[in-house]
Structure 1
Amino acid sequence: MPSALPHGDPAPADGRLPAAVLADAAQRPFGVYVHIPFCQTRCGYCDFNTYTAAELGSGVSRGSYADTVLAEVRLAGTVLDGRTPIASTVFFGGGTPTLLPAEHLGLIITEIRETFGLAADAEISTEANPETVTPGYFAKLREAGFTRVSLGMQSAVPRVLEVLDRKHRPGRPQEAVAEARAAGFEHVNLDLIYGAPYETDADWQTSLDAVIAAGPDHVSAYALVVEEGTALARQVAQGVLPAPDDDVLADRYVMADETLHAAGFDWYEVSNWARSDAARCRHNELYWSDANWWGLGPGAHSHVSGVRWWNVKHPARYAVLLESGASPAAGRETLDAQARLTERVMLAVRMRDGLALAELPPERAAVAPQLAGWGLVEHPALEQGRLVLTQRGRLLADAVVRELLA
């Protein structure tokens, strides 16, 4: 089942934010995340806040879900009261957003535009499972205003897909890339997962080669993580499947980085590669750069100028709260200066642009030369006052963060 929500303070019933927070919000870029919690089946490794029809039960309808989200958009407009810049990015994630009609997704975009405004060059993305999209659906997404699509491929090898409980047939993600391109999508991402039980080096190379041949301009590759409470975790605990091996995961990452670089992709975040700066996912960069966003939907998280909150998890409870005129927030926290520094370091060091040493307390910045001596950060960038990870540093990013925050 989906992972638990964080612990925090009670959130106001009307969702209001402190005046000082709203005053600061005008100084930071703003985006919107839209969570679509529906899936046809649950993948064994997934602990996201998503539900199949059997898990949802009665009281929740895909057909009325967009209307519920529209109610939260209007609530957000009241809470923020025009204090944020117009939205520069919108990202539909899940779950499987493309299980909803494209027209419903378009209604949400229209409400976001009318409530917050949308930049003329706004990036509007959706995740999609390859089996839920068609050439006609892609055309409708473009008509609705989408500029970018992210397709879940995970692997090109049938037995690896089977272990991951992925239902699409091999080759379908590549077909979907071509269909998206034909519909006018300039920016297309393919997601991969490496380190699945019984996956070989040859399997992983097959997947990398298939991704490159498909022609996306962005690739995300994530190490398989065994999340507590998932079917995969139970299989590993019972000895049915082996746990991912850290050394194997490191080797697979190096294979990905070198293969993708040779094909014209450059890393810009530890798990993300793009063919150009324009191909980067601007919405994710907004998360990684301490900007502001409102998360719509059950279980969605939001952040505005140091205040973070999260919505109730179940779609039925989410709908009941909004129908009653209340905020769906389950809890929230206000980050103090140390917490914000910690998050800034954790996120910035994962980026190709790196972390400015000036953002660190002097005693912590002083460890940077030692990190360079260990081969974890780039010497030229350090001479220019920035901490940028080497490939080895990316493999040990968590250790670098610990050194910087010790």
Structure 2
Amino acid sequence: MFEVYVHVPFCMRRCGYCDFNTYTATDLGGGASRTNYANLAIRDMCLTRAWQEAHGVHEPAASSVFFGGGTPTLLPASDLARMLQAVRDTWGVAPGAEITTEANPDTLDDAYVAELADAGFTRISFGMQSAVPHVLRTLDRTHTPSNVEAGVRAADRHGLRSSVDLIYGAPGESLEDWTTSVRTAIGLGVNHVSAYALTVEPETKMGRKIAAGTLPKPDDDDEAAKYEIADRLLSEAGFQWYEVSNWARPGHESRHNLGYWRNVDWAGIGPGAHSHYNAALAPAGTPHTDGFRATGATPGEPVEPAGDTTTAAVRSWEIAHPKRWAQAMELGRVPWQDSETINPTEAGEEELLLGLRLRDGFDTTALAGAIPESAWSELEKEGLIRMEGERAVPTLRGRLLNDTIITRLMQYV
């Protein structure tokens, strides 16, 4: 399988909790404005495809395409359509592919959604976060609950699937507030819900307020209780969990995100985007001279060899700042910040980390020579996993204590 991710780094304003690679208009000088972003992203696609061909990476047509951010829907729908067409022209898009854009509910209307549908989009992921006004204010979100509903209804009219993202654990959010948000999401009639515990990063606006004592720190027990509420309400409504933070009606799982968790190949386009290739690449010791690191003074400095890439997967990441990313492409090279190889041992560790987040579970035979059967037995006795044949599946308690499971198993690998 092969997927394409397109990062659109623009936001109207930076939410207080967000540490993603996003920028407002005032953050940027020339070189990567909203008006020319689609052209730059298409250039990135062409350079990436040329790099793949030069290194023997031959991918099938994309089975999914995902526009994330940032707020992709800050761009005109015609720009998203042009970038999607460029994916078709560059790699091809498989019949029946899942094509998603994230959306801030404030940034689209019926006409915008209609244009997305005409372009071939199949799914919109709305950043709902909460249905409670005071929680939205704490999170610095600008939309209202009614805007979320309007967006979902527009998607319904034009035949697009809808997903909503929720965040739990915001300062001042009660259990009743969270219950209201989950019930509201279900009531929208969407077929996919993501629910993420609030993570407070020190350098964010919210992180500084919590450090100063003007906002309370999220509480682990409170977040666990809210996770259990979400799981119960969503299960009662016909949703099934398929990844620790994701629930869907059967058949409506996010194929794109499942690809990440299953470590398929993907190309990341845009500032800060990551790519991942399992295929054999260049002979050992061959410099990736058509990628480059940006840590030096001059954009375009060649990336040093990532090691023996004949047997290892490769992960790369692009320059984070849009202006430097744009400047780098003027040199005609893939705008990599850097890259790394993933050897077979590391790949096995990643499969363990990812597999134990999935309803499909982790195939314990994959690391049978490293992890003893007794380790799995102990986890099962403690109610953290359930063995389904050779696969270890986290229980509800195991989902809540997923990091504990991983820590205990990683000592063996």
Query: TM-score, normalized by length of structure 2?
Result: 0.89
Give me the whole-angstrom Cα distance separating, in 1, the residues matched to 2:148 and 2:272: 28
Q: Structure 1 residue 363: deviation in Å?
A: 4.3
**Match status 1:155 vs 2:160:** no
Q: Is the 8 A contact 1:357 1:365 kept in 2?
A: no
Q: For each residue in 1:330-383, what CA deviation from the matched residue of structure 2 results, as whole angstroms up to 9, or x when unmatched?
A: 11100122211111111111000000111113341411111110001114x1xx
Please point out which of 44, 65, 89 is paired with 2:37. Answer: 65
**2:282 maps to which residue?**
none
**1:358 maps to which residue?**
365
Q: Is the 8 A contact 2:31 2:327 kept in 1?
A: no
Please point out which of 42, 46, 51 is paired with 2:18. Answer: 46
Please point out which of 244, 260, 264 is paired with 1:291. Answer: 264
Give me the whole-angstrom Cα distance separating, in 1, the residues matched to 2:29 and 2:40: 17
Matched letter for residue 52 of structure 1: T
**1:237 maps to which residue?**
211
SS of the residue 2:394 aligns to? coil
**1:10 maps to which residue?**
none
Give me the whole-angstrom Cα distance separating, in 1, the residues matched to 2:169 and 2:379: 28
**Match status 1:110 vs 2:85:** yes
SS of the residue 1:327 aligns to? coil
Please point out which of 341, 353, 356 is paired with 1:349. Answer: 356
Give me the whole-angstrom Cα distance separating, in 1, the residues matched to 2:242 and 2:233: 15
**Match status 1:254 vs 2:228:** yes
SS of the residue 1:287 aligns to? helix
Matched letter for residue 325 of structure 1: G
In the TM superposition, 1:127-276 aligns within 5 A as 127-185=102-160, 187-276=161-250
Matched letter for residue 381 of structure 2: G
SS of the residue 2:162 aligns to? strand
**1:96 maps to which residue?**
71
Give me the whole-angstrom Cα distance separating, in 1, the residues matched to 2:254 and 2:85: 21
Give me the whole-angstrom Cα distance separating, in 2, the residues matched to 1:308 and 1:191: 27
Give the number of the structure with larger relative contact order, counting CA–CA contacts within 8 Å between residues 6 or more apart.
1
**Match status 1:338 vs 2:376:** no
SS of the residue 2:20 aligns to? coil
Report how many residues are paired: 373
Query: TM-score, normalized by length of structure 1?
Result: 0.90
Q: For each residue in 1:366-402, what CA deviation from the matched residue of structure 2 results, as whole angstroms up to 9, or x when unmatched?
A: 11111110001114x1xx1110010000000111111
SS of the residue 1:364 aligns to? coil
Q: Structure 1 residue 95: deviation in Å?
A: 0.3
Long gaps (5+) in structure 2: 279-312
Instruction: Pick which of 194-203 and 319-328 moved more.
Output: 319-328
Q: Is the 8 A contact 1:192 1:220 kept in 2?
A: yes
The share of aligned pairs that are identical, in percent, is 48
Give me the whole-angstrom Cα distance separating, in 1, the residues matched to 2:77 and 2:350: 35
Matched letter for residue 117 of structure 2: R
**1:394 maps to which residue?**
399
Q: Is the 8 A contact 1:47 1:227 kept in 2?
A: yes
Q: Is the 8 A contact 1:365 1:404 kept in 2?
A: no
**1:300 maps to which residue?**
273
RMSD: 1.0
Structure 1 stretches of 4+ moved >2 Å:
57-60
SS of the residue 1:152 aligns to? strand
Give me the whole-angstrom Cα distance separating, in 1, the residues matched to 2:176 and 2:407: 34
SS of the residue 1:171 aligns to? helix
Matched letter for residue 194 of structure 2: S
**2:331 maps to which residue?**
324
Matched letter for residue 37 of structure 2: Y
Please point out which of 85, 93, 96 is paired with 1:121. Answer: 96
Give me the whole-angstrom Cα distance separating, in 2, the residues matched to 1:121 and 1:233: 42
Q: Structure 1 residue 57: deviation in Å?
A: 3.1
Q: Structure 1 residue 171: deviation in Å?
A: 2.2
Matched letter for residue 63 of structure 1: T
Give me the whole-angstrom Cα distance separating, in 1, the residues matched to 2:196 and 2:410: 25
Give me the whole-angstrom Cα distance separating, in 1, the residues matched to 2:233 and 2:402: 21
Q: For each residue in 1:108-159, what CA deviation from the matched residue of structure 2 results, as whole angstroms up to 9, or x when unmatched?
A: 1111111111100111100000000100000000111101110000000010
Long gaps (5+) in structure 1: 1-28
Query: Aligned pair in 2 of structure 1 residues 149, 365: CA closer, same or farther (>3 Å)?
Result: farther
Give me the whole-angstrom Cα distance separating, in 2, the residues matched to 1:374 and 1:397: 13
Give me the whole-angstrom Cα distance separating, in 2, the residues matched to 1:142 and 1:80: 30
Q: Is the 8 A contact 1:350 1:394 kept in 2?
A: yes
Give me the whole-angstrom Cα distance separating, in 2, the residues matched to 1:283 and 1:256: 23
**2:381 maps to which residue?**
373
Give me the whole-angstrom Cα distance separating, in 2, the residues matched to 1:228 and 1:123: 35
Instruction: Pick which of 44-53 and 82-91 moved more.
Output: 82-91
Instruction: Pick which of 105-114 and 264-273 moved more.
Output: 105-114
Give me the whole-angstrom Cα distance separating, in 1, the residues matched to 2:116 and 2:263: 29
**2:304 maps to which residue?**
none
Q: Structure 1 residue 405: deviation in Å?
A: 1.5
Matched letter for residue 77 of structure 1: R
Q: Is the 8 A contact 2:51 2:334 kept in 1?
A: no
